[in-house]
Amino acid sequence: MFATPAQRKKWLEPLLDGKIRSAFAMTEPAVASSDATNITTSIRLDSDEYVIDGRKWFIPNAAHPNCQQFIVMGKTDRDAPAHRQQSMVLVPRDTPGVKIVRDITVIDHTAPEGHCEIEFKGVRVPRSNLLGEEGSGFALAQARLGPGRIHHCMRSVGAAELALELMIERAQARTAFGKKLYQYGSVGEWIAKSRIKIDQARLFVLKAAWMIDNVGAKEARQEIAMIKALVPTVHTAVCERAIQTFGAMGLSPDTPLADSWTWGRALKFADGPDEVHLQSIARKEIKARPYEPGHESPYLTPAV
Ligand SMILES: Cc1cc2nc3c(=O)[nH]c(=O)nc-3n(C[C@H](O)[C@H](O)[C@H](O)COP(=O)(O)OP(=O)(O)OC[C@H]3O[C@@H](n4cnc5c(N)ncnc54)[C@H](O)[C@@H]3O)c2cc1C
């Protein structure tokens, strides 16, 4: 959306062809990164090059052998208004000064593509590697995260569906105390509640997708925030019930359930913690119905 034709040719086309991968590096260990105005990585112009210094973490893909490019968010102007201080630059992975410090495990799971901590020390890239304009980094992040969030939600609906499928199979195959597991009220209820929640989530995600297609990601912001706050909770709740139905095996690597639960859990932070989405949903709802003393709802009985 924001790359120049030369940037597209060099990076986007091989990405779309599946020849390379990229990583998006915004989050930093030292600051609360759900508020992106906090980030401290410095991106300083030095004649015709940008010099990058900072530390990022939880950066997926960075450990993958095909990952060749990072999109790094940092500050180009600390004196600008809070949402105009940030910029994004394209940093080839093999640039001197880029160091993968470690691949962080997520609840003891190691992802082969990584959730890496990365150090950028005196990293120099040509000025032409700037994405968009200087100061547009915050807006670029918002533009990227909206559509990214719906993809997470679509995958989560699929993951929950798989967990339910496995739970139903296990509940029919396993006998305890003379009855199939599904014949116990609790297990039957888990199956029913999971079906209800998954179908609610799927329809809500479809609505958000429809809105993105028809009115654009910006106008669909409220719906995107709502599904992002809802769907990972459905994903983990269904996995949790499926794990319980499987007994100890549910926690082992012999089912995909523990891994799936872990990913669903991580999604309650990734691309913004639930609380931040809930706060923005509430803000919009409140703005749409400003309270005016003397103009209370006609459905209330006036005080005498
Ligand atoms: C699997 C995974 C993948 C990730 N992928 C990426 C990636 O591709 N690129 C990247 O840059 N980062 C990535 N991240 C990092 C992720 O985006 C951050 O963890 C997230 O934005 C939260 O930032 P933080 O960890 O600094 O938490 P903090 O900002 O320190 O927040 C901590 C907690 O404070 C509370 N909180 C914060 N703000 C509010 C508020 N307004 N109202 C109420 N409570 C609040 C919430 O409970 C929140 O969980 C990933 C993380 C994980 C786990």
Confidence of residue 144 (pLDDT cuts 50, 70, 90): confident
Domain 139-288 = CATH 3.30.470.10: no
Residue 294: per-residue pLDDT: 86
CA distance 232 to 176: 31
3-state secondary structure of 124: strand
Residue 17 pLDDT exceeds 90: yes
- Of residues 109 and 21, more confidently modeled: 21
Q: Is the CB of 269 under 6 A from ligand 1?
A: yes
pLDDT at position 189: 98
Of the residues 38, 269, 277, 281, which should be mutated to test ligand 1's pocket, given the most ligand atoms within 8 Å of the CB?
Answer: 269
Per-residue confidence (pLDDT) for residue 62, from 0 to 100: 95
Task: Give the whole-angstrom CA distance, residue 154 versus residue 158.
Answer: 6
pLDDT beyond 80 at 303: no
How confident is the model over 78-86, as a mean pLDDT?
Answer: 96
pLDDT digits (tens, 9 = 90+) for 212-223: 999 998 899 999
- Ligand 1 within 6 A of CB of 262: no
Q: What is the pLDDT of residue 143?
A: 86
Nearest to 26, CA basis, from 62, 50, 2: 62
pLDDT tier at 166, thresholds 50, 70, 90: very high
- pLDDT value at 142 more than 90: no
pLDDT reported for residue 13:
97
**272-277-280 Cα angle (round to 5):** 130
Strands, DSSP E only, in the chain?
Answer: 21-25, 42-46, 49-60, 67-75, 86-92, 98-103, 115-126, 130-131, 175-176, 179-180
User: What average pLDDT does range 6-32 have in this prediction?
Assistant: 96
3-state helix, strand, coil in the chain (%, to 5): 50, 20, 30
* Position 39 pLDDT exceeds 90: yes
Does ligand 1 lie within 6 Å of residue 32's CB atom?
A: yes
In this predicted structure, the answer to whether residue 148 has a pLDDT above a threshold of 90 is no
Q: Which residue's CA is the closest to the ligand 1 atom numbered 51? A: 270
Share the mean pLDDT of the chain.
95
Give the predicted TM-score (pTM) of the model. Answer: 0.92
Q: Dihedral of CA 119/122/123/127: which sign?
A: positive
Query: Is 38 touching ligand 1 by the criterion CB < 6 Å?
Result: no
Q: Is 72 in the pocket of ligand 1 (CB under 6 A)?
A: no
Q: 282 C-alpha vs ligand 1 centroid, how far in Å?
A: 19
Q: Quote the ligand 1 centre to 290 CA distance (angstroms).
A: 30
Mutating to test ligand 1, I would choose from 21, 26, 27 the residue with most ligand atoms within 8 A of its C-beta, which is 27
Please report, for the chain, the start and end positions of each structural domain, with discontinuous segments joined by +.
5-133, 139-288
User: Which ligand 1 atom sits closest to the C-alpha of 271?
Assistant: 17
Q: pLDDT higher for 275 or 303? A: 275
Is it the case that residue 304 has pLDDT exceeding 80?
A: no
Residue 231 has pLDDT above 80, yes or no: yes
CB of residue 270 inside a 6 A radius of ligand 1: yes
Model confidence pLDDT, tens digit, residues 45-73: 999 999 999 999 999 999 999 999 999 99
Predicted confidence at residue 145, as pLDDT, reads 81
Rg of the chain over all Cα atoms, to the nearest angstrom? 23
* CB contact at 8 A, 6 and 128: yes
pLDDT value at 43 more than 80: yes
Other C-beta atoms lying within 10 Å of the C-beta of residue 46: 9
* Cβ atoms within 10 Å of 267's Cβ, excluding its own: 23
Q: What does the pLDDT look like over 173-222, one tens digit per residue?
A: 999 999 999 999 999 999 999 999 999 999 999 999 999 999 998 899 99
Q: How far is the CA of 16 from the centre of ligand 1 (A)?
A: 28
Q: How confident is the model at residue 133 (pLDDT cuts 50, 70, 90)?
A: very high
Q: Does domain 5-133 have CATH number 2.40.110.10?
A: yes
Q: What spacing in Å lies between the alpha carbon of 263 and ligand 1's midpoint?
A: 14
